[in-house]
Amino acid sequence: MSGNPSSLITAAWSLLVLVVFLALWQFGPGLIGVPEFVLPNLAKVLREGARIWSSEKLLWHAGITALEVVVGFVLGSLQGALIGYALGVSPRVEAVLSPYLLALQIAPKVAFAPLFVMWLGYTVYPKILVAILIVFFPVLINVLSAMRTMDTDMINLARSFSATRMQVFSMVEYPTTLPALFSGLRIASTLAVIGVVVGELVGGNMGLGYLLVFFEGEGNTAAVFVVIAALTVIGIMAYYAVVLVEHKVLHYLPGAQRQMA
């Protein structure tokens, strides 16, 4: 973000929205008579957060979830990108595999979570597998769409200089599709959190999803808000980690095209 007046004004308005939101959270429930067990105020949530941090190993559970998110995101994105490029390079392979990929895409991913738990038990592996399954398709679709809509004149120009198929891919197709790849990675970074939490909700004995189930069983609404906030922080960190890498890799693009969303 630059230091120009327009950016500073935008940041100030954004901060004002946050302050208003927190003030409404603190005083709103009491003013409209919402019971504390339905919607606890901000102070109650902060006190509960301090208690969970010290007595319920919040940081440890958050670390488990974050690790599952990172592993699921990396493996799912890698597979999605590789298969997307493979299908883009070979239309025949795409024609053969597309019906099966479409069927897997249509199938509800969260429905696989109980199956993975039955196969692999109450370990981290079912959560990672659900994350991989959810992350895989946004990356695949973005890469494949970029390959299919590429400017054929650029490819023909490379071929006119006797470039091999691998040279066309490495020098033309791959660099051209990087913006679309990172768009898919941005989406995938947030979906990875959803996939991991679904896996932990279905069959977890550790992680933030497990804490959600635990506190829901206790009827502890404030603690549930704390866990949701922790999950949100993990999602934001994952998203902006992708944005940071995108800025480093796509430094050649105009700044307007690389702004953080």
**SS3 call for 219:** coil
Phi and psi at residue 11, to the nearest 5°: -65, -40
Cα–Cα nearest to 139, from 198, 80, 227, 205: 80
* Per-residue confidence (pLDDT) for residue 258, from 0 to 100: 46
Q: How far apart are CA 50 and CA 52, in angstroms?
A: 6
pLDDT for 220 equals: 93
pLDDT in tens, 143-176: 999 988 887 778 778 878 877 778 888 888 888 8
- Alpha-carbon distances, residue 242 vs 186, 187, 197, 239, 249 (angstroms): 6, 10, 20, 5, 10
Separation between Cα atoms, residue 156 and residue 222, nearest integer Å? 61
What is the C-alpha to C-alpha distance for residues 15 and 6, in angstroms, rounded to an integer? 14
Task: Give residue limits of the domains in the chain.
Answer: 1-34, 40-257
Q: How confident is the chain (261 residues) per 10-residue block, as mean pLDDT?
A: 70 92 91 88 93 90 96 96 90 85 85 89 91 94 90 80 81 89 95 94 88 91 95 96 92 54 44
pLDDT at 260: 42
Q: According to the model, what pLDDT value does residue 4 have? A: 67
pLDDT for res 101:
85
Residue 3 confidence (pLDDT): 55
Distance CA 179, CA 168 (A): 18
> Which pair of structure tokens corresponds to residue 130?
């659900």
From CA 27, how far away is CA 41, in angstroms rounded?
7
* pLDDT confidence of residue 90: 84
pLDDT digits (tens, 9 = 90+) for 77-87: 999 999 999 99
Q: How far is 47 from 226, CA to CA, in rounded Å? A: 10
pTM of the model as a whole: 0.87
Give the Cα-Cα-Cα angle 202, 213, 227 (nearest 5 degrees).
Answer: 115
User: What is the pLDDT, as a whole number, of residue 259?
Assistant: 46
Instruction: Answer positive or negative: Cα dihedral of 196, 202, 206, 212.
Output: positive
Let me know if domain 40-257 sits in CATH 3.40.50.10070. Answer: no
Q: Residues 79, 257: contact at Cβ < 8 Å? A: no
Predicted local distance difference test score (pLDDT) of residue 34? 87
Instruction: State CA 63 to chain mean position distance.
Output: 16
